[in-house]
Structure 1
Amino acid sequence: MFKALVVLLFISHIFSAYAYDRVSGKLFASRSEVYGQNGMAATSHPLATQTAIDVLKKGGTAVDAAIAANAMLGLVEPTGAGIGGDLFAIVWDAKEKKLHGLNASGRSPQSLTLTELTKRGLTKIPSFGPLPVSVPGAVDGWYELHGKFGNLPMAELLTPSIHYAKNGFPVSEVVAHYWKLNAQRVGHYDGFADTYLIDGKVPKTGDIFKNPHLAATYEKLATGGRDAFYKGDIAARIAAHLKEQGGFLTKEDLASHTSEWVEPVSTNYRGYDIWELPPNGQGIAALQILNLLEGFDIRNMGFGSTEYIHTFIEAKKVAFADRAKFYADPAFNNLPVESLISKDYANERRALIDKKKAALSVNAGPVDGDTIYLTVADKDGNMVSLIQSNYRGMGSGMVPPELGFMLQNRGELFILDPSHYNTYAPGKRPFHTIIPAFVTQNGEPWMSFGVMGGATQPQMHAQILINMIDFDMNVQEAGDAPRVIHSGSSSPTGGMMISGGKVHIESQIPMQTKRELIDKGHKVEESIGVFGGYQAIRYDAERQVYIGASESRKDGYAAGY
């Protein structure tokens, strides 16, 4: 009897070990890291990752593969991407050992004025319909990237997406979930059913979906280039549909669109140079958060601790007060970017963080002045960090007939207060939420990464880096680790106050930590679906190896060869 009991306990111990211990990675990690010597791709959908790897194997550059993957995502993940939206990218050029930034966001209609919007009694631009539509910049972004860093013909990069658009693909699980939600919000608009439903029904997981209209559009781009989109039949159809729906975007708005090459901006966090793009995006908020947190001993606080989470949330509030006031189109404003991301400014603003209680509001500082993410690296050491979306899932609900895509609703993010930096104006780029990121160390690439998720992205950028730099997580663990997101409203006028807001917290954070945060004055709630989707490629310069990661919150994966 005693021997049987010993054997039973031993077996129980073995099964317990396999149930709770991992051979590699922390308990919350969904899998091990992915290694490759010649190339790496990490996207939110398997077909996009496969497409990118195929392009790399054919001799395509990292940018070639990223464009091909982005085109595929516009087909297989229309809930987060598409050529009706905008694009931003950071490219590491291995020959020059230099980062290049591309802002491929579109501008507001020239014929729509602030007077017209306020005359309609609007206090904000609607989320859906024709009014929030701005020029889609993604296609021009593809051709700008390809012209500077591409190798294979654009027609070859679009061929895989054309094939699957014509022949169909099985809808993946996470995409199916968001497809249903988008249909509930914008499914009543003209053109949605014809483009996005199967026999009048929303595609479910595993259903075979085809988009022949998008295939035809991609074929026009393959033969006619970017002008086929901005000056040809596609532009005419977009303009005609919006006019019919009561919109203002015209063929002239599309024909005059241009992207802009910009210099990425950076701060150093504990020996690592973190790079983001300057406004009209929100990337510098991540730099501001990291500058504030550098003054605290984050490592000794411990991951998931009450002290760390509280300090992080309070730093976010301080940075986002500035974000609410200053982040806008630099072509219309003299933005104090250099001051906002300086260490001196962070040292001043750090005093606003109370270690014992949550701030209910924070003033902006006294200075003048839904989405997909993917990353690819090639055999020559080039890397690209690319993010692209329509906003609010599929976008505005405006689906021009027989084109296969929906137009974005980024114009919603304009403010209708004429005194605000981000006030609406004709031909202006709205404040933007999507941000690619890059990290270098000692002048060499260290990591290309991004996290989709709207306004929460700067918080998640900072958390990923803190997980790796302060808490010694690997590139996969850093993305799978439970996250905390603070959401708070902002006043569009005056001092830019950020309310106390809510702390959205994933279930793996201990209940005791949640109770202690509530004791400090935070409004805490467990949430799902607000924590984004992360992809990353880290480069081991010593061994010349790429290390990829793609988290479990999305359908995709990282692959190398």
Structure 2
Amino acid sequence: MTATSHNTAHRPAIAVTRHAIAAGHYLAATAGFDILQAGGNAVDAGVAAGIALGVVQSDLVNVAGVAPILIYLADKREVVTIAGLGPWPKALDPEFFMREHGGKIPIGVLRTVVPAAPDAWITALKRYGTMSFSEVASPATRLARDGFPMYPLMAASLQKHAERHAMWPSSAAVYLPGGKVPKSGDIFRQTELGASLQYMADEEKAASSRGREAGLDAARDAFYRGDIAKKIVAFMKEQGGLLSAEDLAEYHSPVGPAERRRFGDLDVFTCGAWCQGPVLLQTLALLEGTNLKALGQNSADYVHQLTEALKLAFADREAYYTDPAVGQVPLPTLISPEYAAERRKLIDPLKAWPEMPPPGDAGAGVGFGSLRESKPNPFPEPDTSYVCVADRWGNLFPPTP
């Protein structure tokens, strides 16, 4: 990838007739495209691209991070989700961060949740894909082992966070090779990551005589029960973390239906409130009362209306979204026309909320806000990337690792 500035990336476009893929880095898109060309479906290609992003954008995405997944199954005309977000360790007291850290999560291993991405990718392959883990992970393994040219966007990110990486020898060994921040154009290698992916592939191959699913299970177990799990747990104990062998071994990504809402002539689907996906549905509900076309696309009034609707939806996200295993989210109310009509009253056509507005009272179905004060925006660090794949059979696979 080339870039004219640290914040502008130019990705080469490839025109095709049977399938399409887009990703946060062209090498990840190429990995998925090669899988499509080899006969794989959208799931196979999306998993290949998603794992590759964990290599070529490892400053934003982690192979052992998260992977919320939406899948459209063309033959069933059905949209399903895979909740690739891990829970907190069982040993964590829910009040710990409030009691010990004033409600903030400190830098370091105490931020660690169960790594969900490997299980989510393999679950997608097992249920809806056609290829092996070894096949789809091969591009990522090669990119990690042999390296890829460092590019300006990642080089700038590593430079910005160099002091933080230097706090942990294991991070410094990867992101500060030889004690220096890699420069754009340097070949950047992550050999231990490549070895971990290869170990998972080798375990799959050893079990493949029992069938494709047994092989995929073996690749998963290599991470969650095998040598990788043992190294994770040992590191956690050494650093004062709470993640245990039991946390890893017992984790499985839930699979279920998508959330859905009509907007104009479209049916819009998102993952559940275990992530921030339904913010889109609530934003669309808030915009139903606005003639966006009359405002003119990207006009000042158009951008204002859209931005303020997003602020209101994100405020409710902060107030109500949670892990469904530990709490209920009033999502039917949050995306309902009635609640949106009340909530929309907080949008002033002549004035913007300078910070996050107060949430509505979803319990009472009242959207005009609560007595809670507006929350300041801490300007969080950028993270996350994206993949979107469409195959020749009409399947769609858009994960957000």
- What is the TM-score normalised by the length of structure 1? 0.61
C-alpha distance after superposition, 1:290-316 (max 9, x if no partner): 111121121121233332233223322
The aligned counterpart of 2:330 is 336
C-alpha distance after superposition, 1:89-133 (max 9, x if no partner): 11111111111111011011111213544453x112334211111
CA distance in 1, matches of 2:250, 2:194: 25
The aligned counterpart of 2:393 is 380
C-alpha distance after superposition, 1:193-233 (max 9, x if no partner): 22223322111111011222111100111133101101111
CA distance in 1, matches of 2:162, 2:238: 21
C-alpha distance after superposition, 1:242-269 (max 9, x if no partner): 1111111111111111101121112222
The aligned counterpart of 1:367 is 362
CA distance in 2, matches of 1:45, 1:206: 15
C-alpha distance after superposition, 1:426-476 (max 9, x if no partner): xxxxxxxxxxxxxxxxxxxxxxxxxxxxxxxxxxxxxxxxxxxxxxxxxxx
Counterpart of 1:380, as a letter, is W
- Check whether the contact 2:273–2:321 (CA below 8 A) recurs between aligned residues: yes
- Check whether the contact 1:289–1:316 (CA below 8 A) recurs between aligned residues: yes
Matched residue of 1:92: which SS? strand
Shift of 1:355: 2.1
- Check whether the contact 2:12–2:26 (CA below 8 A) recurs between aligned residues: no
Match status 1:272 vs 2:266: yes
Shift of 1:29: 13
Q: How many residues align?
A: 360
Shift of 1:382: 1.1
Residue among 299, 304, 309 paired with 2:303: 309
The aligned counterpart of 1:352 is 346
The aligned counterpart of 2:105 is 126
Match status 1:248 vs 2:242: yes
- What is the TM-score normalised by the length of structure 2? 0.84
Q: Note closer, same or farther for the CA distance 1:363–1:75 as it changes in structure 2 (3 Å cut).
A: closer
The aligned counterpart of 1:54 is 34
- Check whether the contact 2:11–2:26 (CA below 8 A) recurs between aligned residues: no
CA distance in 2, matches of 1:116, 1:284: 28
Match status 1:298 vs 2:292: yes
CA distance in 2, matches of 1:379, 1:357: 47
Summarize the alignment of residues 535-546 of structure 1 with structure 2, pairs less than 5 Å apart.
Answer: none
The aligned counterpart of 1:88 is 68
Matched residue of 2:161: which SS? helix
CA distance in 1, matches of 2:59, 2:316: 30
- Check whether the contact 1:63–1:150 (CA below 8 A) recurs between aligned residues: yes
- Check whether the contact 1:92–1:384 (CA below 8 A) recurs between aligned residues: yes
The aligned counterpart of 1:155 is 134
- Check whether the contact 1:262–1:277 (CA below 8 A) recurs between aligned residues: no
- Check whether the contact 2:11–2:25 (CA below 8 A) recurs between aligned residues: no
Summarize the alignment of residues 379-458 of structure 1 with structure 2, pairs less than 5 Å apart.
Answer: 379-388=392-401
Residue among 81, 86, 89 paired with 1:101: 81
Matched residue of 2:177: which SS? coil
Q: Note closer, same or farther for the CA distance 1:300–1:219 as it changes in structure 2 (3 Å cut).
A: same
Counterpart of 1:123, as a letter, is G
Counterpart of 2:324, as a letter, is P
Shift of 1:163: 2.2
C-alpha distance after superposition, 1:397-444 (max 9, x if no partner): xxxxxxxxxxxxxxxxxxxxxxxxxxxxxxxxxxxxxxxxxxxxxxxx
Shift of 1:57: 1.0
CA distance in 2, matches of 1:272, 1:117: 42
Q: Note closer, same or farther for the CA distance 1:314–1:75 as it changes in structure 2 (3 Å cut).
A: closer
The aligned counterpart of 2:94 is 114
Q: Percent identity?
A: 35
Match status 1:185 vs 2:164: yes
CA distance in 1, matches of 2:352, 2:172: 47
- Check whether the contact 2:85–2:253 (CA below 8 A) recurs between aligned residues: yes
Query: Greater RCO between the two (CA within 8 Å, min separation 6)?
Result: 1
Match status 1:65 vs 2:45: yes
The aligned counterpart of 2:313 is 319
Matched residue of 1:255: which SS? helix
C-alpha distance after superposition, 1:166-186 (max 9, x if no partner): 222211221222222232333
**RMSD over equivalenced CA pairs, Å:** 2.2
Residue among 205, 222, 232 paired with 1:228: 222
CA distance in 1, matches of 2:188, 2:225: 30
Counterpart of 2:186, as a letter, is D
Residue among 140, 143, 148 paired with 2:122: 143
CA distance in 2, matches of 1:118, 1:210: 39
Q: Indicate the structure (1 or 2) with the bigger Cα radius of gyration.
A: 1
- Check whether the contact 1:335–1:368 (CA below 8 A) recurs between aligned residues: no
CA distance in 1, matches of 2:161, 2:41: 34
Q: Hey, which of these two has a bigger chunk of helix by percent? A: 2
Counterpart of 1:387, as a letter, is T
The aligned counterpart of 2:252 is 258
Counterpart of 1:377, as a letter, is A
CA distance in 2, matches of 1:164, 1:293: 43
Bigger mean CA offset, 189-198 vs 220-229: 189-198
CA distance in 1, matches of 2:300, 2:61: 36
Matched residue of 1:386: which SS? coil
Q: For structure 2, which runs of at least 5 residues remain unmatched after alignment?
A: 1-7, 204-218, 365-382
Q: Note closer, same or farther for the CA distance 1:176–1:31 as it changes in structure 2 (3 Å cut).
A: closer
Bigger mean CA offset, 183-192 vs 360-369: 360-369
Matched residue of 2:54: which SS? helix
The aligned counterpart of 2:206 is none
Q: Note closer, same or farther for the CA distance 1:368–1:331 as it changes in structure 2 (3 Å cut).
A: farther
Counterpart of 2:37, as a letter, is K
CA distance in 2, matches of 1:292, 1:227: 44
The aligned counterpart of 1:494 is none
